[in-house]
Amino acid sequence: MALLLLLALAGCGAPDEPEPDAPPAPPLRDVVAARLAETAADALPEPSAEEVAEVRDLLELLGVGGRAGQMARRELAGRDDRRLAAATLAVLEEHGTPVELRRAAHALLATRPLPAALPRLTLRLKYEKDYPANVDLARALLRLGSGAGLEALRGILLAADDAAPDAAAARAAAARALTELPPREGWEPGADFATDWQRLLEVREHWLVERELPGAPTASVEDAGAVAETWRTVARLASGPLRPVDDARFVLARLPADLALPVLLEAVYERNLYVREHVLQVLSWLGPTVGRWATRRGRDVVAELVPLLGEPRSRARALEALGAIGLPEAAPALLRWLRDGGRDEATAAADALLRCADRTAAEEALRRAAERSLTPAARWSLDLLAADVGLTRAGPEPPTDLDPAEVRRREEWRAERALRPRSD
């Protein structure tokens, strides 16, 4: 017996160490499934193959002109907006749809803008290469309160690529489209191209920073159809193959803030890891736009995101998003992971602090960083932060053991500190 006891004791290891003081797990739930079910009736209908073929034929007839064209126009005018938009989008999304048909489809959607079409139209910006089609696409988006197509208009007007099909006509159409920009006092649309161009640059700049059109209504959560299609876009983030994920991220990063951000801030609590991951990623891409929008709308976006730091598999992405948003009040929640996190988390925390910390948080970050070994990337982020808030000399030297692209990425983040919603 004594022998057995001794043998048993000999095989035992050390007692388990106490659990570290981990933050509580966030309340994850099946957000996307619930929202898809609730909004199903507002989403665009799924057109039948016959419906798509009919719309395709009618669009072809529009190009023929004459009596056939007039007949097709009348037929299309009599169709239900939602069913027509769904079938027209299906024609556009079909692989290999000829360019003439795509032009006709975009022109039709520009004349009958439907909020529910906004996310799928936004995706066309990624794949549509034809100049004239892009002009009508940008016009449709403008009418739906989105400036996502302004970059395409600017590109067409600047392009010296006369080899592109119908480039000159597209430039003329793009110039005309500028008259549809949101109005501003003192600007007379169409009076001369120079002031129209100036207005394009103003509106584009505002769109890029705020994801809204100045002085014009933008799509928002009030548009039930747009919201339903935005949730459908979010659902694609769960895909195994990356292409649908990439498409969804492209769209979500280009929707108006009042439409996308309420949806994204709810979707971060989705149970599916991939949805959480990519929603946080999109929030990071939008960065200070999220912080400024939250400030305008009176939302405490930091408090909304901090609980996600309690989810180990999403922690690094949540750290990234909290930093990218640029609100200095996020810094206290980030500091802990600089010292206690694994390498991934500590690097994400240092990067995030570079993007949001004020001088006080920077001092604390440097103190905590001294207590452990950090990756070269994390060290470089903290060096840049210290320089930016005046704790060290202005021009730190990048670590020689850090990849040049990683050096540049962090220098860009330092430059973006000027865009933060609030200054130090």
Partner 1 sequence: MNAARVLALLLSAAGVVVLVLVLKPPPEPEFVELQSSSQCLECHPNVAAEWRDSWHARAYVDPEVRRLSNDFANEECIACHAPRPVLHFQAGERVLARFAERDLGVDCLTCHQLPDGSVATSSPDPPAAPCRPRHSPRLADVSLCASCHDQHGTVRQWAAAPPELKGEGCLDCHAEPVPRPAGRMGRAHHFPGGHDPDMLRRAVELRAESEAGGRVRVELENVGAGHNFPTDERSRAADLQWRERGSDGTWSAWRHLHRFRDPYRDETDLTNTQLPAGETWRGTVTPEEAGAEVEVRLLYRTNPFQPDEEATEVHRVSVAPGG
Which spans of this chain sit near partner 1 (rule: CB under 8 A)? 2-3, 6-7, 10-11, 13, 95-97, 126-127, 129, 240-243, 245-246, 249, 273-274, 277, 281, 313, 316, 320, 342-348, 351, 375, 377-378, 402-403, 405-406
In the complex, what is the shortest distance from the CB of residue 342 to partner 1, in angstroms, rounded to a whole number? 6
Return the SS3 of 83.
helix
Measured between alpha carbons, how far is residue 221 from residues 211, 215, 256, 260 in Å?
14, 18, 10, 8
Phi-psi region of 211 (alpha: psi -120 to 50; beta: other; left: phi over 0): left
Comparing CB distances to partner 1, the nearer of 241 and 395 is 241
In the complex, what is the shortest distance from the CB of residue 271 to partner 1, in angstroms, rounded to a whole number? 15
Q: Which residues pair with 29 in a beta bridge?
A: 270
In the complex, what is the shortest distance from the CB of residue 316 to partner 1, in angstroms, rounded to a whole number? 5
**What is the spatial distance between Cα 48 and Cα 87, in angstroms, rounded to a whole number?**
8
**What is the spatial distance between Cα 17 and Cα 255, in angstroms, rounded to a whole number?**
48
Give every CB contact of residue 126 below 8 A, 6+ residues apart in sequence.
247, 250
In the complex, what is the shortest distance from the CB of residue 235 to partner 1, in angstroms, rounded to a whole number? 16
Comparing CB distances to partner 1, the nearer of 35 and 103 is 103
**What is the spatial distance between Cα 131 and Cα 398, in angstroms, rounded to a whole number?**
42
**What is the spatial distance between Cα 156 and Cα 172, in angstroms, rounded to a whole number?**
10
Q: Of 342, 355, 348, whose CA–CA distance to 290 is shortest?
A: 355
Comparing CB distances to partner 1, the nearer of 195 and 375 is 375
Comparing CB distances to partner 1, the nearer of 2 and 160 is 2
In the block, tokens 């750290």 appear at: 319
In the complex, what is the shortest distance from the CB of residue 322 to partner 1, in angstroms, rounded to a whole number? 13
In the complex, what is the shortest distance from the CB of residue 327 to partner 1, in angstroms, rounded to a whole number? 20
Comparing CB distances to partner 1, the nearer of 325 and 377 is 377
**What is the spatial distance between Cα 251 and Cα 120, in angstroms, rounded to a whole number?**
8
In the complex, what is the shortest distance from the CB of residue 13 to partner 1, in angstroms, rounded to a whole number? 7
